[in-house]
Structure 1
Amino acid sequence: MSQQPVLLTGYDAKRCARRVHNEWDPSIEKVEWEVPASLQMRFDAGIAFEVTIFNELEASLADSRYVDLSDVRGKANAIAATVQAMEDDVDVILGGWLPDDTEGGRTGRPDILLGTSGGYLPGDVKGHRIVARRAKGTLSYSTIEDPSDILTANGFGAETAARFDDYLQLAHYWRMLEAIGRAPQGPPRGFIIGSDIVPDLTTSGRLLTWVDLDTALFETYSRSRGTAKRSALERYDHEQGFRLKVARAAASGEPALVQPIFTDECESCPWLDYCRDVAGESVASRQIKSGRLSVREWAALADAGVVSIEDLAGLDPSDPALQASYLPEVTHLKDPLGRLMTAIRRARMIRDGRNLERETTGPISVPRADVEIDFDIEWDPDDHVYLWGALVNRAGEEPVYRPVVAWRELDDAGAIALAESFATWLRGQIAAAAAAGQSLLVYHYAHPEPAYLKRLLGEPAVADLLAHFVDLLPIIREHYFGLFGLGIKKVAPEFGFNWRDEDPGGLQSQLWLMEARAANDEVARLSGQKRILAYNEDDVRATAAIRNGL
C-alpha cells in the first residue's frame, strides 16, 4: 500500500485516465521521455507568453498591489509564500502554489490569484484566444490596469466548448481554494488571460476574460436523458473523481480500471510506447489516426466486443443488436451512426491497404492556364510569414522555384513589406503573361496562402491577385476520401510525390528556422536555411504533382 498521498494536478482532469494510472502504478517502470522538439517549442512559447503577461501586469500595477512568486524555489517554500501573501491581502499573486488538498486529491499552482472580497479567484495564462465576437453575446472582462474591476461588453463572449480544458483547470483551482477556506462567497468563477488583443475594450487590448464555473454550458452524455448541459464544476467533479479512483487503485496495486484507448493526446504523451505494448498492434483506436472516435465511442464498441481493426472492418452498422447496445451510450454526439460508419470505412481501408479512395467517377475538372504557379508559405512561431515560395511552370520549360524570403526576425512592418515584395513579383508575372497573350493561374492547397495575403495587405489591395488563385483542396474533397485525412502530406504520395526531408512538416520547419536564426556558425545557419527552402520547394512541387495527377 503506497504511503504517498494521491494528488492530481490541474491538468489531470483533462488528461487520459490511462496516463493517470500509469503514473501512479508503482509496478510500472517510469519512462524516460525526450520531449519532441515541436512539442518543446510549444511549451517554450507558453512559458514565454506567461512571462510577457506577468511583465505587463507588473508594469501596470503599483508595487504594493502584487507579488511575483515565480522564482521561489521548492514546493513547501512556494506554498508558504502564497499563504503569507493571502494573509497579507495582496491583491494579485503571480506564480503561487496552493496548499495540497489531500482529502480531495488535489495539488496545483494557478498562474494568478486575484484578491476579492472574502477570498481569492483563480486565473490562468493561456497562449491562445479565449474571446469570440458574438452578435448576441456579453463578455465579462477586466483590464490589466485594474483587474479587480469587472466590466461587461456586448458583441463579445468567452469561448466555451473550444476551451473546455481551460474551464476544467480553473475548476480545479476553485476547489483547492474552497478546501483552504479562501474561495469567496458568490458564484464560482475564474479568469483567463489569453492571446487576444481587443483594442475596442481597452487601450492595451489585453483582457482578463471571466468565465462562470457553475453555469450549465457544456453538453454531455446523460444515461437517463441522453444529453444534458452541465457546468464546468460538474464536469470537473466527475472527471477528477473518476481519475482519482483510477490513481488510488493504481497506487494500491489493484487491477487497472482503464485500458489504453488511443486519441490525439497520445502523440504527445510519454506513455505512448508503453500503451502500445499493453494494447497490441491490432487495436482499432491505435490504427485509426484521422477522424478518431471519442473515448466513449471506443469504450461502447469494446463493450459490444469490437476491439480490433478486423472486428471494426467486419461490423454491420445496421445490425439491430449492435445499435441497441451501442447507440444509447453515444446519444450526446451528433450523428453517432454516421461517425461509426466512417470509422468502419477507415478500418476496411486499413485492412485492404488503401490510403485514398475515389468517391466519384469520370474526369475531374481542374482549371488550367498557360502559366501555372504553385504557391506555398511558411510562417515563424510569431505568426509572421517569412517565406513566400512559388514554382513557375511554363509549357516546354523546366519549372523554376522562386522564393521571396527574409531570414531575419520579422516584426509586423517587416512581414507586411515582405508580403508586398511577393505581391509585386506576382503582379509582374501576371502582367508578363498578359502581354504575351497567355493566361495565368496560381494554385495553393487549403486556405493559409490567400488568408495571409488578405490579412497582411488587405483584401481590396490583393483582389487582383486573388482572382487568379485556385484552391486544390476543395477539388480533392469533392472527389476523394482519405484514410488519414486529406492534408497535402497524406495526399501527394498517392500522386507519386515524396518529400526529400525525412521529417517534413510546418512545425518542424519552424524549429529549423529558430535553429538557423540562433546558429553562431555560418555553416549551420546556411544549412538550416537550405533545408527550409528545400522543404518549401517540395511543398509547391507536391501541389504541382496533385494538380497534374488530377
Structure 2
Amino acid sequence: MEKTGEQRRRPVSIEASALTRCRHRVFLDATFPEELSAAPKNPGATQRQEAAAAHREAIRQRMFDADPDGWVHIAAEGTMAQRADRTLDACRSGADRIWGAVLPVEPDTGRRGRSEILLRDAERGGYIPVIVVNHKVTDPGRGATTTDLFGWAPAVDENRKVRAHSGDQMRVAHLYRMLERHGLAGPAQVAGAIGYNADCILVHDLSAVLDDYDARLADRLAIARGDVPTVPSQIGECRTCPWWDRCRSELAERHDVSLVAPGQRADVLRELGVTTIDGLADWTGEQPEVWPQGPFEDAVVIAKAWLAGAPLVRRYRQVHVARADVEIDIDMESYHEHGAYLWGTLLNTDVQSVYRPFSTWQPVPTADEARSFGEFWTWLSAERRAAERRGKTFAAYCYSRSAEDKWLLSSARRFHGYPGVPSEVEVKEFISSPQWVDIYQAVTDQFVCPNGKGLKKIAPIAGHHWRDDEAGGEASMAWYREAVGYEGGEVVPSQRTRLLEYNEDDVIATKVLREWMSGRAVLDIPHIDDL
C-alpha cells in the first residue's frame, strides 16, 4: 500500500476545504486517491451536500428572479477546464455578476476552486468572490460588516455580529488568490458569504486572513506532495472521515493517547512527554497548567478505564437521579434550522407508559409546525396541572437539553399568537424549574464516560437497544426528506413510521436509563477507586 517518495511527489491540487482539514487526512487523500474514491460515502456527509446544493439553487433562483438579465450563468456543462475558460471570458468582457464561476486549476500552486458568485467592483475594478453556504454566517448582535443581497454597499451592521467560521475565511481567501493570479482580484481585498438565512451578504476583510491562508496552503501542499510527514491523531473530524478505521487501528496498536484525550488535549500531553494511554493512566504529578477541555482527572480515569475495558465509571458510590410520581420523557426532532417537526413524548405512570407524538408532515418551515407545537405544549401543560391537582409530583425528562430548549424558545417566539403556543416567559419558567430534568447532565455529573456521553453510547449499558440499526441524527435527516417529499420528491410513508419508531426508542431510552440509575444494577459499574 505504501508508495514511494517519487510517487507521492506527483503534481497535486487541493481545494480550500483541505486548509481546515486534518493534516494526515490531506496526506492520505492525496497519496491513495483510488482507495478514497472507492470508500463508502458517509450518509450524513452526502445529506449535507445535497442540502447545500438545494440551498445554492434556491439562492440562484432568487437572484435570477430579481434581475433575470443581470447575470452571466456558467452552467454546469462540459469539463471543469471549459467552465473555467467561460468564466475568464465573462470576467474579461466585464460582466457585472457571474454565477457558477470556476477558476483554472494552478499546477504550480496546487489551487483549484469555484465561487458561486463573482461581483465586479464597479468603483475599483476587479471581482469580489461571494460564496453561498448552508450554515449561519451571522448572529443577532452588532459589529459585522454586511451588505444587501442585491447591491454591494458594505456598512457596519447594528443588528448582526459575525459567526466565526474559519472554513469560509479560508475559502474566500483561496478564491481571492486565484483571481489575483489572473489580474482579476478587486483591490479592496474583500469577499462575501451568503448564509443559511440569506438575509444579507457578510463581508470578509481578507487583509486579516491572507497571511494565515498562505501559510496553511504551503503546509497542506507540502503534506499532499509527500514532503512533510504526518501521523494520525484522533480529533472531532475522525467521526466522519473515510480513513478512520485505518487510523483507529494504528492508534490502538500503539495505545496512542489521542484515543482517550482527543484533539488539543493530546497535543498538550505530547508536549509533556505523554504519548500513550498507559503513560496517562500512570500520571502522578501535578496536572498541566493549561488543559483544554474538562477536568484533567477525568482524562486519567478514562485512560485507566480504556486499559481495563470499562465502558463507564462511577464518580460516587451512590448514584442519584430526580424522580417523580408522574414522569414524561420528551425528545424533539428537527430538520437543520428549518423547524422542529416532531415532539415525541412518553407518559409514565404507575399503571403504564404511553408514547404520544405531536408532529407535522408538511415540509418545514411551515405554519403547521405551530399547530403541532401548540398541541404538544397544551397537552404537556394539562398533564402538569393534572398531577398538581392530584397532589402528585411531576417531572419531564430529556437527554441533552440544549436542542429542546432552543426549539422550545424559538417556537414560542416564531409562533406567538397561534392556538396553544406559550409565551417565552412561560417556556423560560418551565425550563428553569426543577420539573425539567436533563438526564445527560445527571450522567455527566456522576459518571466518567470513556466512549462518549451520547445517548446511544450510554443507554445500551443500561440494557436499551434501538429497533433500527441505522438510527441516528444524521440518518434521520435523510429519512425526513423522504417522509415529507422534500423539494418535490415522492412521499415515502414508511419513512414516517421509521422516524416515529426512532423517536419512540429515544424517549424509552431516557426512561430506561433513569430507572437503571435508580436501581441496584448501576452498582455493577466500577467506581473510580476500583480501577
Q: TM-score, normalised by structure 2?
A: 0.83
The alpha-carbon distance between structure 1 residues 130 and 421, as it changes in their structure 2 partners (threshold 3 A), is same
The alpha-carbon distance between structure 1 residues 427 and 299, as it changes in their structure 2 partners (threshold 3 A), is closer
Question: Residue 17 of structure 2: which of 11, 14, 38 is its match?
Answer: 11
Please tell me the residue identity of whatever aligns with 1:347. A
Aligned to 1:483: 450
Aligned to 1:423: 377
Rounded Cα–Cα distance in structure 1 between residues aligned with 2:444 and 2:376: 29
Rounded Cα–Cα distance in structure 1 between residues aligned with 2:424 and 2:28: 51
Aligned to 2:134: 127
Question: Residue 80 of structure 2: which of 72, 75, 79 is its match?
Answer: 75
Question: Residue 161 of structure 2: which of 126, 141, 157 is its match?
Answer: 157
Aligned to 1:39: 45
Aligned to 1:335: 291
Map residues 173-322 of structure 1 onto 2, 5 A cutoff.
173-186=175-188, 188-196=189-197, 206-215=199-208, 232-249=209-226, 257-276=229-248, 281-284=253-256, 287-288=259-260, 292-294=262-264, 298=266, 306-316=274-284, 318=286
Aligned to 1:101: 106
Q: TM-score, normalised by structure 1?
A: 0.81
Please tell me the residue identity of whatever aligns with 2:192. F
Cα distance per residue 1:503-535 (max 9 Å; x no partner): 32122222223334449xxxx945433332222
Q: CA deviation at 1:408?
A: 3.8
Rounded Cα–Cα distance in structure 2 between residues aligned with 1:493 and 1:10: 40
8 Å Cα contact 1:56/1:144 also seen in 2: no
Rounded Cα–Cα distance in structure 1 between residues aligned with 2:10 and 2:293: 45
8 Å Cα contact 2:319/2:446 also seen in 1: no
Rounded Cα–Cα distance in structure 2 between residues aligned with 1:400 and 1:365: 22
Cα distance per residue 1:93-144 (max 9 Å; x no partner): 111111233332211112221111221122211111111233xx42211111
The alpha-carbon distance between structure 1 residues 351 and 335, as it changes in their structure 2 partners (threshold 3 A), is same
Question: Residue 172 of structure 1: which of 156, 159, 174 is its match?
Answer: 174
CA-atom RMSD in angstroms: 3.0
Rounded Cα–Cα distance in structure 1 between residues aligned with 2:442 and 2:40: 40
The alpha-carbon distance between structure 1 residues 474 and 259, as it changes in their structure 2 partners (threshold 3 A), is closer
SS of 1:48's partner is helix
Rounded Cα–Cα distance in structure 2 between residues aligned with 1:175 and 1:234: 11
Cα distance per residue 1:458-513 (max 9 Å; x no partner): 41354676554333333333322222332222222333323232232122222223
Percent identical pairs in the alignment equals: 29
Tell me which moved more, 423-432 or 6-15: 423-432
Aligned to 1:110: 115
Cα distance per residue 1:242-275 (max 9 Å; x no partner): 111122236xxxxx61122232223323333444
Map residues 450-529 of structure 1 onto 2, 5 A cutoff.
450-457=405-412, 458-460=423-425, 462=427, 466=431, 468-518=435-485, 525-529=492-496
Cα distance per residue 1:438-468 (max 9 Å; x no partner): 3332222222334323321341354676554
8 Å Cα contact 1:317/1:341 also seen in 2: no
Q: CA deviation at 1:364?
A: 2.3
SS of 1:114's partner is strand
Rounded Cα–Cα distance in structure 2 between residues aligned with 1:450 and 1:475: 17
Rounded Cα–Cα distance in structure 2 between residues aligned with 1:339 and 1:298: 14
Rounded Cα–Cα distance in structure 1 between residues aligned with 2:405 and 2:269: 42
Aligned to 2:342: 387
SS of 1:100's partner is coil
Tell me which moved more, 303-312 or 102-111: 303-312
SS of 1:111's partner is strand
8 Å Cα contact 1:284/1:312 also seen in 2: no
8 Å Cα contact 1:509/1:532 also seen in 2: yes
- 2:89 aligned with 1:84: yes
- 2:356 aligned with 1:352: no
SS of 1:170's partner is helix
Aligned to 1:253: none
8 Å Cα contact 2:233/2:263 also seen in 1: no
The alpha-carbon distance between structure 1 residues 270 and 143, as it changes in their structure 2 partners (threshold 3 A), is same
Q: CA deviation at 1:28?
A: 7.3
Please tell me the residue identity of whatever aligns with 1:380. Y
Aligned to 2:329: 374
Rounded Cα–Cα distance in structure 1 between residues aligned with 2:12 and 2:311: 44
Tell me which moved more, 36-45 or 502-511: 502-511
Question: Residue 53 of structure 1: which of 43, 59, 65 is its match?
Answer: 59
Rounded Cα–Cα distance in structure 2 between residues aligned with 1:370 and 1:434: 10
Q: CA deviation at 1:280?
A: 5.5
8 Å Cα contact 1:293/1:339 also seen in 2: no
Please tell me the residue identity of whatever aligns with 1:476. V
Rounded Cα–Cα distance in structure 1 between residues aligned with 2:272 and 2:446: 34
Which consecutive unaligned segments of at least 5 residues does structure 2 have? 1-5, 413-422, 519-531
Cα distance per residue 1:361-417 (max 9 Å; x no partner): 546251x3322111112223463322221111111x121112223334344311011
8 Å Cα contact 1:31/1:270 also seen in 2: no
SS of 2:234's partner is coil
Please tell me the residue identity of whatever aligns with 1:442. A
Corresponding pairs, count: 492
Rounded Cα–Cα distance in structure 1 between residues aligned with 2:364 and 2:37: 39
The alpha-carbon distance between structure 1 residues 439 and 249, as it changes in their structure 2 partners (threshold 3 A), is closer
Please tell me the residue identity of whatever aligns with 1:172. H
Please tell me the residue identity of whatever aligns with 2:177. R
Q: CA deviation at 1:302?
A: 5.4
Q: CA deviation at 1:151?
A: 2.3
Rounded Cα–Cα distance in structure 1 between residues aligned with 2:399 and 2:380: 18
8 Å Cα contact 2:302/2:448 also seen in 1: no
Which consecutive unaligned segments of at least 5 residues does structure 1 have? 198-205, 216-231, 251-255, 328-333
8 Å Cα contact 2:301/2:448 also seen in 1: no
Rounded Cα–Cα distance in structure 2 between residues aligned with 1:394 and 1:471: 19
Q: CA deviation at 1:167?
A: 0.6
